[in-house]
Amino acid sequence: MNKSISSISAVVILAILFMMPTQAGAKEMTGEEVTFGRKLGNCLACHVILDGNLPGTIGPELLAMKARYPNKADLREQIWDSTIKNPHSIMPPFGKHQVLTERQIDQITDFIYSK
């Protein structure tokens, strides 16, 4: 009886360990992956971005961003909530509505700013 209880306990412990999320093997996404990823930023759905495939044309091209946004914080604010400067913007307020995390918005900002 002890042997079967030990076997069941071991199986339960292993099942719990396999279901727990792990940080050890998790790879953090790059700014490019967050920007181009269809499940996160999905910026290509609306914008042309250098090296992006199948871009949309609803929003402006995201090229020469350092020239357009000399202050990088202004670009981040635009990604955070574009309705601040344009209340009629169709761009989702990614930060205000918590669609993306602070870290993901920083990654997108850094990636777009490098284009």
CATH number of the domain where residue 109 is located: 1.10.760.10
CB-CB neighbours of 35 under 10 Å: 26
For position 33, what pLDDT does the model report?
95
Give the pTM: 0.75
Cβ atoms 48, 57 nearer than 8 A: yes
Structure confidence at residue 21 (pLDDT): 44
In a domain, 77, yes or no: yes
| Dihedral in degrees, nearest 10, Cα atoms 47, 87, 84, 66 | 30
The boundaries of the domain holding residue 86 are 29-113
Residue-by-residue pLDDT tens, the chain, 115 positions: 555 555 455 444 444 444 444 444 567 899 999 999 999 889 999 999 999 999 999 999 999 999 999 999 999 999 999 999 999 999 999 999 999 999 999 999 999 999 8
What is the predicted pLDDT for the residue at 27?
79
pLDDT attached to residue 79: 97
The answer to the question of residue 79 being in a domain is yes
Of 96, 104, 84, 94, the residue nearest 46 (C-alpha): 94
In-domain check, residue 88: yes
Domain for residue 96, yes or no? yes
- Domain membership of residue 76 (yes or no) is yes
What distances in angstroms separate CA 35 from CA 30, 78, 87, 108, one per listed residue? 9, 14, 23, 5
Contacts of 25-30 with CB under 8 Å at 24 or more apart are 29/104, 29/107, 30/107, 30/111
Q: Residue 96: CB partners within 8 Å, gap ≥ 6?
A: 80, 81, 83
How many domains does one find in the chain? 1
